Amino acid sequence: MYTINCKGKLIDLSKPRIMGILNITPDSFFDGGKYNDLTSVNKQVSKMLKEGATFIDVGAYSSRPGATHISEGDEFQRIVPIVEYLTENFPEIVLSIDTFRSNIARKCIEAGAAIINDISGGNADTKMFETVVELQVPYIMMHMQGTPRNMQENPSYSNITQEILTDFAKKAATLKEMGLNDLIVDVGFGFGKTIEHNYELLKNLDLFHALNTPILTGISRKSMLYKPLNTSPINALNATTVANTIALQKGSQILRVHDVKEAKEAIEITELLK
């Protein structure tokens, strides 16, 4: 099975792990504005770690459909102080940084983070691949069609699973040739996909093991879950648990979630089937 090297610490992914989401944005689709001071950040991170999160994924750029674009300077001012604070106050924390900008990635790794989570899969910043290779950090490569501002206007594929697999395979080969050791793939549920596209990907998620990389699933409280049920993100926890369970049965190694306790329970129950 897979292991990833996070700042010299080998993390075994033979049993699925949880990545807790910490959005320090004012406008994220579910928890925007909730964690905008150090007290609330500390409380939420403590809670997620206590409930079983292995990784904490910090994001300062909202990528919800139609989100407001912010400058690199604004993203830097939001995220780097939080990385420094968390590294100082939680010495054993394994921080993942949700950014598509190579400069932000570098600054956050220098501040103590361990993983880069790039929603653009290297498409938004041509220096991202060389940066993660130079830093030798695990790189989460997500698929997105378009940008957060336009990705849901008219997503179109002839064969979504095959197209994303091909895209990932080409990029994975490039990164391996460049010398990257730890690559993780994320099909990008909700990023330039219709509801039908998302369920096609969930159904075929096990096919992505052909890439010989760990699979991260980020499906927590997304519209593909709450829209078919005519509900809202706040009422989509049960649907999230169902979807996470399907992802686990398809072999996903990392669940990226807002609700750590429930994800941990899904893992524990699913593992009993093995």
- Would you name the residues annotated as active-site residues? 222, 256
Alpha helices in 157-259 (DSSP H): 160-178, 195-203, 223-226, 237-249
What are 182's two structure tokens?
């730890």
Q: Is 210 exposed, middle or buried (0-12, 13-18, 19+ CB in 10 A)?
A: exposed
Integer CA distances (angstroms), 229 to 56, 118, 182, in order: 29, 30, 37
- Counting Cα atoms < 13 Å in the Cβ hemisphere of 150 gives 4
Torsion region of 119: left, alpha or beta (phi above 0 gives left; psi -120 to 50 gives alpha): alpha
Listed in sequence order, the residues at least 6 apart from 91 whose beta carbon sits closer than 8 Å to its beta carbon are none
**For residue 42, what are its two tokens?**
């500390």
